[in-house]
Amino acid sequence: MPTFNQLVRKGRQSAVKKSTAPALLKSYNSLNKKMNDTASPKKSVTRIGTSCEQVMVGQRIKVIEDNMAEFDVSSSMESSINELDARTAALAESARMMSDEDYDTLLHIVEAEAGTEDVKGRILVANVIMNRIKNKEFPDTVTEVVWQNTNGVPQFSPTYDGRINEVTVTDETREAVRQALEGVDYSEGALFFIQKSEAESQNVSWFEKDLKRLFKYGVHEFYTYPDSAESSTGS
């Protein structure tokens, strides 16, 4: 405690309240490149969240208005629901028309024909099988389509050389078949495909002469019947 003489000489000094944010009491002059004692400008913004409390900050923060515009998701949700319903219906229809034997056959032929391709390349092979089922020129089930033999000529070479029974079905092939059965279709209606680098010359010649080429993806080229003719043979 100060004595009476000390108080007379110096007087009682008022306590100085320190700022809780001393950095805001100074500002930086970028032109002169030095600090000033002028307080930094403060901005009043709304804190992002459920509160509309006003806070003081020394940096720019986006102001969130109290009356935010209403976000209408009804149309997008309806579209998503309709798409899900369509895919579910397609999957259910595929399941009804496909036995366990057909499903297993589809997995193995896709693996045997396109096991080195990406998922899209495998989907394309599955698409061709499913396109044939829908076409009146071919049998009505996966197993019959895959094992079809026309005048001693197999439709799919893995059924001839035994690869269809030797492959191990991978997760990528299962995913490709799942997507194909759900309706994913890149085939443009293709009914045939060929890997020319591995095919016999007479087969390549028949494809080029008697079929309509659609496109190439990966190692396979995809074909369908020409507009003026409809005849079936192997791929």
**pLDDT, averaged in runs of 10, over the chain (235 residues):** 57 57 58 61 43 37 42 60 61 64 96 96 97 93 93 90 95 97 96 90 89 95 76 43
Residue 203 is predicted with a pLDDT of 86
Residues 175 and 65: their CA atoms lie apart, in Å, by 46
- Which homologous superfamily is 98-224 in? Cell wall hydrolase SleB, domain 1 (1.10.10.2520)
Residue 29 is predicted with a pLDDT of 64
142 neighbors 156 (Cβ within 8 angstroms): no
pTM over 0.85: no
Q: Other CB atoms closer than 10 Å to residue 99's CB: what's the count?
A: 12
Residue ranges per domain, the chain?
98-224
* Pairing mode, strands 43-46 and 54-57: antiparallel
Residues 184 and 124: their CA atoms lie apart, in Å, by 9
Helix/strand/coil (H, E, C) string of 14-82?
A: CCCCCCCCHHHHCEEECCCCEEECCCCCCEEEECCCCCCCEEEECCCCCCCCCCCCCCCCHHHHHHHHH
